[in-house]
Amino acid sequence: MQLLTISDLNSEWQPLLANVLWLGELYDQFKRQDSGNRDIPVHIAGESTREAGVHASEVSGCVRRLVYGTQGTERRVRPEDVNINMRRRFQLGHMLHALTQDDFDLMCMLTDGMLTFEDEVKIHPGMGGVAETWKIHSSCDGIFTFLNGQYNPYLRVGVEIKTMSADVFEKANKPLDYHLEQICVYMKALDIPLMWLYYYNKSNSNWTKPMAPFLVTFDHKL
């Protein structure tokens, strides 16, 4: 039994859900033993580093922003017009992303090769397929790969990390629509059958487990 690609969703794969749920249990175990003695690099990309093309985070919402992105138009904001509070929140979100990705990487290193994690999985037109058709430039926050006793992969799960205020988190009893559209791009381009929407409450550190409704299968309708 395997669930490595979108086409594998056509087979009997539901028994593997227990393996996915184990990710949340493993993460809790890891954090209990985390000494915190490490350095975590954080990269915050600016507008000048963006490639021209479609970016998954912009497929919903402002059409003008999407059009400018496909044209490679750099968005410039005068310093006096900058929302300082939003900029700080944006930068803190990047820091929490980096911490969580580093957590997942170290967590998987402790599984003796039974679980791996790749962060910032790039999507670009050179991959072919939908990425080439739509000139997509994006990166998925990460992909978990489960391996059996012979170290052969049998299950892949993507993860998208979203940090939220307490109010937004408490109201989010299911994935937000524009997040579903965003991860659909990742799943199609990278052929990922399952995606975990990891919502993180910045006020109390609560987070959504890898289970329904925050564990999502690829939706062909989107």
Kindly state whether residue 195 falls inside one of the protein's structural domains.
yes
- The parent domain of residue 144 ranges over 6-35+87-121+138-217
Kindly state whether residue 202 falls inside one of the protein's structural domains.
yes
Whose CA is closest to 121, among 106, 145, 141? 141
DSSP state letters, 185-209? HHHHHHT-SEEEEEEEETTT--B--
The label of the residue with tokens 């329904």 reads 212
Q: Where are the beta strands (DSSP E) in the chain?
A: 115-123, 138-147, 153-164, 194-201, 215-217
> In angstroms, rounded to a whole number, what is the distance separating the alpha carbons of residues 160 and 195?
7
The answer to whether the CB of 154 falls within 8 A of the CB of 3 is: yes
Kindly state whether residue 97 falls inside one of the protein's structural domains.
yes
Q: Which of 14-23, 84-93, 154-163 has the lowest mean pLDDT?
A: 84-93
Between residues 45 and 116, the one the model is more confident about: 116
> What is the mean predicted confidence (pLDDT) over 58-66?
52
Handedness of CA 166, 168, 174, 177 (dihedral sign): negative
What is the band of 123 on the pLDDT scale with cuts at 50, 70, 90? very high
Kindly state whether residue 77 falls inside one of the protein's structural domains.
no
> What is the mean predicted confidence (pLDDT) over 125-144?
93
Q: What is the pLDDT of residue 128?
A: 94
Q: Which residues, 6 or more positions from 102, have their beta carbon under 8 angstroms from its beta carbon?
A: 38, 40
What is the band of 80 on the pLDDT scale with cuts at 50, 70, 90? confident
Kindly state whether residue 51 falls inside one of the protein's structural domains.
no
Q: What is the pLDDT of residue 113?
A: 94
> What is the mean predicted confidence (pLDDT) over 149-156?
96
In this model, does residue 74 exceed pLDDT 90?
A: no
Q: How many domains does the chain have?
A: 1
In this model, does residue 61 exceed pLDDT 80?
A: no
In this model, does residue 211 exceed pLDDT 70?
A: yes
Q: What is the pLDDT of residue 11?
A: 86
pLDDT tens across 181-200, in order?
999 999 999 999 999 999 99
Q: Bridge partners of 194?
A: 157, 217
Q: What is the pLDDT of residue 56?
A: 62
Kindly state whether residue 79 falls inside one of the protein's structural domains.
no
Kindly state whether residue 59 falls inside one of the protein's structural domains.
no
Kindly state whether residue 11 falls inside one of the protein's structural domains.
yes
Q: What is the pLDDT of residue 55?
A: 56
In this model, does residue 58 exceed pLDDT 60?
A: no
